[in-house]
Amino acid sequence: MKKKWIIHPFLFAVIPVLHIFSNNAGKVDITVIIMPLAISLFFTIALWSFLTFALKDVKRAGIIVSIFLLLFFSYGHFYHGLGNLSLMGASLGRHRFLLPVWAFITVLSTFIFLKIRRPLNGFNSFLNVTASVVIISSLFNIGVYESAKARNKKDSGGIEFKSAEKENVLPDIYYIILDAYTNPEVLKDMLGYDEKSLINYLNDKGFYIAKDGRTNYTSTCLSLACSLNMRYIHKGENSVELVRSNTVMPLLKSHGYKIVNIPSGYSDTAPIHSVDFEINVSGYHEFTITLLETSLLYPFTQTKIFDYISLHRKRILETFDMIPKVRSRLKGPFFIFAHIVCPHPPYLFGKESALTERSRFETFEDSGNFMLVNNNWSPEFKADYLNQVSFVNKKVRLLVEQILKNSEIPPIIILQADHGSAFEMYKIKSGTVAARQTETSIKERSGILNAYYLPEEGRELLYDSITPVNTFRLVFNTIFNADFELLEDRVYWYDFAEVTEF
């Protein structure tokens, strides 16, 4: 008798991870799927072994496991799909409604397959074929992306320059991104925030603060791709890959720098291929969060079982604490890249303390990924944002003080935002790009904190309207006597669907 293979439980254990990975090809490094795959396969093997022992029927046990995996990993998709539906005035997208229904379906499905007495060869084959097709589809998508990436792979743009004679006294370079920290003038004029303690402190320490600081792109990944490649992004280029395979870090490595990265948890900025040392801090990777939020574990993600809100808070605090300690751990000059997702929502920090009495972020009942909740830019959260700005100000002052204290050679410190806040933009209900491009929304979203601590010869080259595209052109001209021409400072509006110059 021909042996019937039972492979679908393993395939259904792998499918959710591969599906999310394939849908985010180019945004997530393949290494982040190893742990979720291992956990999913381990759980599948354990459950299948237990049911096989209990039922004395490996095929029936395998089918029950596959049905359970399908239900387990589809819960979040159904939850989000029901988010905008209501019945008799009650929203169907609520865990308290959907979770009991899902539990009933799971129990009923298990009961049905326990009671069926006829052979299940046909259904077993159906599950094998179905799972195989889905796996092949995901692998095909991944293969298409990797093939395109290989064809389009470029070097560092052919940018080269000779080292300066003073290479033995090269300064450490701190490139610190304070996500969504808007321009101080915008804070004052549009948000009513006139707390100048940080600005006064930075001025006293010798920083140059660009009064008309603006980003080149009103999106994190595009902004960082622009600054770290010292050029504007061409249509069709993968900004995520540009960040990971950027120009700046290999150039610094070729001149004796060690490259250090402190991951933010934001998948678009990790991993970076030129990094020598990656300092891991607390928190889940964004890929893991997405996987959790599509599974039956979603209702429990706000509990202490996962509590990735607290881990996100801890990641931010640990990053601030870790940056000034790098100097004592490395010999020779280093470049440190630290993307801190703050004062960007969620609102986890109060004005005077590291914790808010109530963490102001959209609950998972009402939204998706907490790091990407656009409703947190609603006007009602403006005070929470400003309190978080005050908290960041205190941490930055302490950070700068420690960096300067620990540095024998005066360092280069760049405090820069990727984009500004977005309260004006989200006042506008229309989703069209044109509707969101008002004078006030553009001014707020494009305005950024852009502060530089440079040697005197570099400080003389700075100007009030400098944008990130020229940051490292100017830095390299300063420390390597390079001859990079500064580009025209332009701003592009990004609204998830289009990029528009203005």
- Which of 38-52, 74-88, 141-155, 202-216 is predicted least confidently? 141-155
pLDDT digits 0-9 by tens, 435-492 = 567 888 899 999 999 999 999 888 999 999 999 999 999 999 999 999 999 999 999 9
* DSSP secondary structure letter of residue 425: G
Cβ contact 452:459 at 8 Å: yes
Q: Which of 330, 150, 155 has the alpha carbon at shortest distance from 250?
A: 155
Q: What is the pTM of this model?
A: 0.72
Local structure of 461: helix, strand or coil: coil
Tokens 């870090």 label which residue?
249
Q: Mention the CATH class of domain 174-501.
A: alpha beta
Burial class (CB in 10 A: 0-12, 13-18, 19+), 66: buried
Q: For the chain, how long is the longest CA-to-CA vector?
A: 85
What's the token pair of residue 292? 């959790």
Give the three-class secondary structure for 90.
strand
Q: Angle between the 8-23 and 58-81 helix axes, to the nearest 10 degrees? A: 30
- Please state the rounded mean pLDDT for residues 190-194: 91
* Tokens encoding 202: 């930075």
- Contact (CB, 8 A) for 248 and 472: yes
- State how far the Cα of 317 lies from the Cα of 395, in Å rounded to an integer: 9
The interaxial angle of helices 286-293 and 34-55, nearest 10 deg, is 30
* pLDDT at 93 (0 to 100): 67
Other Cβ atoms less than 10 A from the Cβ of 19: the count is: 18
Of the candidates 400, 396, 481, the residue with the CA atom closest to the CA atom of residue 206: 400
Q: Confidence band (pLDDT; 50, 70, 90) for 155?
A: very low
Q: What is the pLDDT of residue 272?
A: 82
Average pLDDT over residues 310-328: 90
- Do residues 334 and 260 lie in contact, with contact meaning Cβ atoms separated by under 8 Å? yes
Tokens encoding 310: 């607290």
Q: Where is pLDDT greater, at 88 or 372? A: 88
Q: What does the block give as tokens for 492?
A: 């592009």
Cis upstream peptide for 343 (omega within 30°): yes
% of residues, the chain, pLDDT over 90: 49
Residue ranges of domains in the chain: 8-151, 174-501
